[in-house]
Amino acid sequence: MSNALHDHDQTHDQQDHVSCCTVDEKVSEHTHDHNHQEGTLKLFIPAGLSLLLLACALVFDYYLKPAFFTGWLRVCWYGAAYLPVAWPVWKDAFNTLRKGEIFTEFLLMTIATIGAFAIGEFPEGVAVMLFYAVGEIFQTLAVRRAKLNINKLLDQRPEQVTVIENNQPQLIKAANVKIGSIIELKPGEKLGLDGELLSEVASFNTAALTGESKPDKKRKGEPVLAGMINLNTVTLIKVTTAFQDSKLSRILNLVQHAATQKAKTELFIRKFARYYTPTVALLAILICVAPYFIVSEYIFREWLYRALIFLVISCPCALVISIPLGYFGGIGAASRNGILFKGGNFLDVMAGIRHVVLDKTGTLTQGVFQVQVVKINPEFDKTEILNLVNVLESKSTHPIATAIHRYVGELNHTLSFQHIEEIPGHGLKGLINNKELLVGNFRLMDKFAIEHHENLSGISDTVIAIAYDKKFAGYIIIADEIKADAAGAIQELHRMNIKTTILSGDQHTLVKNLADKLGIDTAFGDLLPEDKVNKLKEIKNQNEHVAFVGDGVNDAPVIALSDVGIAMGGLGSDATIETADVVIQDDKPSKIATAIHIGKKTRQLVWQNITLAFGVKAIVLLLGAGGLATLWEAVFADVGVALLAILNAIRIQHMRF
């Protein structure tokens, strides 16, 4: 059933794809819902016709018993009830046979139902194929619904946008808008492309991107992203990214391809099904033939009936459909909470995490620094030094550079460095007018033997040391703000018996102070990138499953080493989306625990389905072999259990985390 379902679903995905237009959004959604309902009704037409004919036949057989309902007329009637649901299965069986796939559910169902007709069990033959077809329809709808839920959640890109050309608004396709164009966004409209805000201030609903409906106020010059909804006044935005390269497009592509990354459980079940089905088929043949040599009163019809029961039960539909659907539902549930998993395999990994290692800046703190203190030694010109530092830091993307630029102001473009070098874990070095400028931590001063006598051990904020022309020039103290939900996030992790550790390049006293405030178990500061790797190796050597949470760029080696890498603020960095296994879109540390909860619940549902499917099938297989079960019980063991497993799997799509 799984192969046919996949092909069938792909076709309908193309027909049912959602496009949200800024101008006619309500109309397009209504049209889509109408088309979706029509497509669903068409799926049920063959099964409905078959059910009507079967119901009439059962009434004739067991209640009215008319004289005409005998012989060939009775056979043809049941045949007419059988064909509408059997024909698609026959085609699938033929196509899979051409590909060399013999032991498929399509062929087994075909043999089982034709065998039932051959021994005169017409109602059972029709019923088996009918319920199989109905089960396939419900499975198709369940998978389609899971995919549509994610598409509706993420594909918020309007097809058309209003572009200002020659001071006149023009409605054009978003895919045709060029970088640098000016978009006019009215209140209530969705932004179609990433850009830079030109208006002084605007408020946006970012729920499509972050899962949070709280308005986000943006100011002139700040980035705004496709999918955001303008809340207040008419707003002008300068396009900075092509339609297909927007953050939302990249995220949508990421989630749509997440299903290709299979969890170990899913891969095992698929491999198991390849051996399970032919094994049970072989047992069915033995059940039919072997008693001839053992039983004194061998009745072929009776043992063939038992063999047919085995064939029906052998279909592994409940496993090969409900388990992938469970993981896909987990990915969808995470997406609704602003968490992007790159595959079902990472849901499994998150469920087993026992230790969360966190970066500091941008993970537990806002990453929005403010200059608090500037101390420049009297022998240096303060304005000159700050201008030099501002130009040098402009070559860095670190939030500290932004804070310095905000404090100093516009760059002095008359200053030109001959050489700029970033020293990992230390800071920046630049050469201007044959004089060396160093800006970074005090380890940088020590590295270049810059003598200083500052005692800043009591400072709990970030200190940026400055040296110019081989002399210590002073320092800048910059403060960062702890995120509002950071303490609650750590408490929730501890409630789940998960250890927490900070690894940071900031000075140890600053990191330790933050850890004490938040209740984090262990903290390490003054770490170079290679030191972080070594610390993480030490943690992993304790046989603990480790998740690392950071920015996904500077900490790439640590993310690669961890069992799962989690990126905070994925909407702010393209590299973050590429590097991490899991992306938390709204920067909230509390979503770490949410991701783990979703992983645990997904794994729980998957194992419930595995236990249900194997348990019921094993019981009915034994009853069927002993002649105590009929084809009706076999139908329940196959299609009924598959439907129960699917209903269980999709529960996660409606859970609150």
- Banded pLDDT at 205 (limits 50, 70, 90): confident
In one-letter notation, the amino acid at residue 566 is: I
Residues 505 and 584 in one domain: yes
Is residue 251 included in any domain, yes or no?
no
Check pLDDT > 60 for residue 473.
yes
Segment 373-393, tens digit of pLDDT: 999 999 999 999 999 999 999
Give the pLDDT score at 162. Answer: 93
- Across 74-83, 245-254, 286-295, 583-592, least confident range: 245-254
Which residue, chain included where needed, has tokens 């729980």? 604
Q: Residue 601 burial (CB < 10 Å; 0-12/13-18/19+)?
A: buried
| Phi, psi (degrees; rounded to nearest 5) at 622 | -65, -40
How many residues are there in the chain? Answer: 657
Is residue 650 included in any domain, yes or no?
yes
Percent of the chain with pLDDT over 70: 86
CATH code for the domain in which residue 472 is found: 3.40.1110.10
Residues 299 and 320 in one domain: yes
Decide: 197 and 224 in contact? Cβ < 8 Å. yes
Residues 414 and 553 in one domain: no
- CA-wise closest residue to 280 among 316, 250, 232: 316
Dist. CA 562–CA 350, nearest whole Å: 11
Residues 39 and 93 in one domain: yes
Residues 103 and 166 in one domain: no
- Enter the pTM of the model: 0.71
CATH code for the domain in which residue 549 is found: 3.40.50.1000
Give the pLDDT score at 387. Answer: 95
Catalytically active residues are 359
Q: Which of 565, 594, 623 corresponds to the end of one domain?
A: 594
Dist. CA 163–CA 570, nearest whole Å: 28
Is residue 443 included in any domain, yes or no?
yes
Dist. CA 537–CA 514, nearest whole Å: 23
Is residue 394 included in any domain, yes or no?
yes
Check pLDDT > 90 for residue 104.
no
Number of domains in the chain: 4
Give the pLDDT score at 147. Answer: 64
Check pLDDT > 50 for residue 450.
yes
Check pLDDT > 70 for residue 125.
yes
Residues 273 and 146 in one domain: yes
Angle at 144 between CA 138 and CA 145, to 5 degrees: 90
* Mean pLDDT in residue range 54-61: 94
The two structure tokens encoding residue 322: 């409900």
CATH code for the domain in which residue 167 is found: 2.70.150.10
What is the full DSSP assignment across 133-194?
HHHHHHHHHHHHHHHHHHHHHH----SEEEEEETTEEEEEEGGGPPTT-EEEE-TTPBP-S-
Q: 615: which residues sit within 8 A by CB, 6+ positions away?
A: none
Residues 573 and 616 in one domain: no
Is residue 220 included in any domain, yes or no?
yes
- Banded pLDDT at 331 (limits 50, 70, 90): confident
Is residue 362 included in any domain, yes or no?
no
Is residue 264 included in any domain, yes or no?
yes
Q: Which of 245, 275, 306 corresponds to the end of one domain?
A: 245
Segment 411-447, tens digit of pLDDT: 998 999 989 998 888 899 999 989 999 999 998 999 9
Residues 280 and 232 in one domain: no
Give the pLDDT score at 214. Answer: 67
Q: Which of 432, 451, 479 corresponds to the end of one domain?
A: 479
Dist. CA 365–CA 358, nearest whole Å: 11
Give the pLDDT score at 469. Answer: 95
Residue 405: give the domain boundaries.
370-479
Give the pLDDT score at 6. Answer: 39
Question: What are the helix (H) ranges across 352-436?
Answer: 382-393, 399-408
For the ranges 28-37, 109-118, 457-466, the one whose mean pLDDT is highest: 109-118
Residues 197 and 178 in one domain: yes
Average pLDDT over all residues of the chain: 83
- Banded pLDDT at 23 (limits 50, 70, 90): very low
Which residues partner with 499 through β-bridges? 355
Residues 89 and 225 in one domain: no
Dist. CA 299–CA 417, nearest whole Å: 96
Residues 224 and 270 in one domain: no
Residues 512 and 648 in one domain: no
Segment 274-326, tens digit of pLDDT: 787 788 788 888 999 999 999 888 999 889 988 888 888 777 777 777 788 88
Between residues 32 and 20, which one has the greater pLDDT? 32
Going from the C-alpha of 609 to that of each of 192, 195, 497, 614, the distances in angstroms are 41, 46, 27, 8
**Could you give the 3-state DSSP secondary structure of residue 547?**
strand
Is residue 365 included in any domain, yes or no?
no
The two structure tokens encoding residue 240: 């900075």
